[in-house]
Structure formats: C-alpha cells, structure tokens
Amino acid sequence: MGCISSKQIKYTHSYEDPVLLASETSFTVSEVEALYELFKKLSFSIIKDGLIHKEELQLALFQNSNKKNLFADRIFGLFDAKRKGAIEFGDFVRALSVFHPNTPKSEKATFAFRLYDLRHTGSIEKVELKEMVLALLSESDLQLSEDIVEAIVDNTFKQADSNGDGKIDEEEWEEFVTQNPAILRNMTLPYLIDITMAFPSFVMYSETNDADIII
C-alpha cells in the first residue's frame, strides 16, 4: 500500500499529526495516514462532523447502527478516551494500536482487563465476566447453554482468582494471560500491518473451544 502524502489529506478538527501519533503507537507514519482516510470515511458515515459516534462505530463493526450490545458499548467507551461521546482521530489511532501485532502483550492484557472491568472497580467479578461472555457469544452467533456459560466463568475464576476472594485483580489477570496466551489472540489483528480501507472487525469468529471463547 502506497503512502498517502499529508498534502493530499483534508484535515478535520480532530486531526493530529501522524508523526506524533506514530511515535506514541505501534503504527508507522504511513499507516497513521492511511488510518486517517479510514477515520474520515467512518466519521462521515452517519453524523457528518468528522468524529466517530457510537452509531458509526457499531455500523462499522456489526453492519448495524442501532444494535444494542455490551461488547460494542465497551469498545466504544475504551476508544472514547476523552469521554466526549465521540471518538477523535488521535484516540482512534491510540486505541486501535493495541490490536497491532507489534504492540507488547502487556498492553494488550491491560486493554482486555479494562474491557471486562465493566464497573471500573479495578477488578473483574463473575457477573461482569458472564455478561461479557454472553455479549461475545451474541456477536459471534454462537449458542451455548446456561450450564456451559457458567462452566466457562467458573473455570476462568478457578484458574485466575489465585487468592480466592471472588474477583480477579489486574495482577491476577496478568498472571492468568501469561499462563494462557491464547486468551489474547483476538487482541491482535495481523492486517493492521498492511492497512486497507476495510475497517478491521473486532469480533473474531473463533475456532476456539468453549474454555477460551471468553476473549
């Protein structure tokens, strides 16, 4: 993919310098510039203001701008770093960088932990994990019985909750994903190295077994 000259780009008010963003993320300058063209396309898909709103992100992820889903809400919330109700270009690049193949696993683990910490308490509780498992299953069109979902949650806590207090803190989570690296595989999108104009899907239709479908 050829580099897009910065002279060709029509900037919006949320634009940030590609060189600065490349220095802060796993992307190269040319990849950041390509992402800006993608950002513009998304940010004018419904509300034409140069920002990505929740409906626009959901349309890109799930081809449905009105679908209500916890997973979509969590992804939007983590991308909307400034809590403005809309995603600026810099926030888009910084959050997407977590999924780059060259991003350290420790950063991916931290992002995944925040994804599951629904109530922002600094820990993951069983009810939060179950809610996210159900949301991910819904997006992946997978049907599992209540017993199997409960077994997934219980098995995860059996492995991860090392102090037995009924919740997984960040240190326990880091140890858990170190011992089970496959859990973070959906935190890497290989084609971000060679970005195209097709928005990468965060819903990975997995070839997994029941035990590791939670991520």
Decide: 123 and 168 in contact? Cβ < 8 Å: yes
146-160 helix and 126-139 helix, angle to the nearest 10 degrees = 130
Mean pLDDT, residues 202-207: 38
- The predicted pLDDT at position 212 comes to 43
pLDDT digits (tens, 9 = 90+) for 124-133: 999 999 998 8
Residue with tokens 């925040």: 114
Q: pTM value?
A: 0.77
pLDDT digits (tens, 9 = 90+) for 186-204: 888 887 877 744 444 443 3
- Name residue 52's beta-bridge partners: 87
Q: What is the pLDDT of residue 9?
A: 40
Residue ranges of the domains in the chain?
14-200
Q: Does domain 14-200 have CATH number 3.40.50.1370?
A: no
Give pLDDT, residue 61: 72
User: How many of the other CB atoms lie within 10 Å of CB of 136?
Assistant: 20
pLDDT band at 72 (very low <50, low <70, confident <90, very high): confident
Q: Which residue has the tokens 């910084």?
A: 94
Q: What is the mean pLDDT of residues 39-46?
A: 90
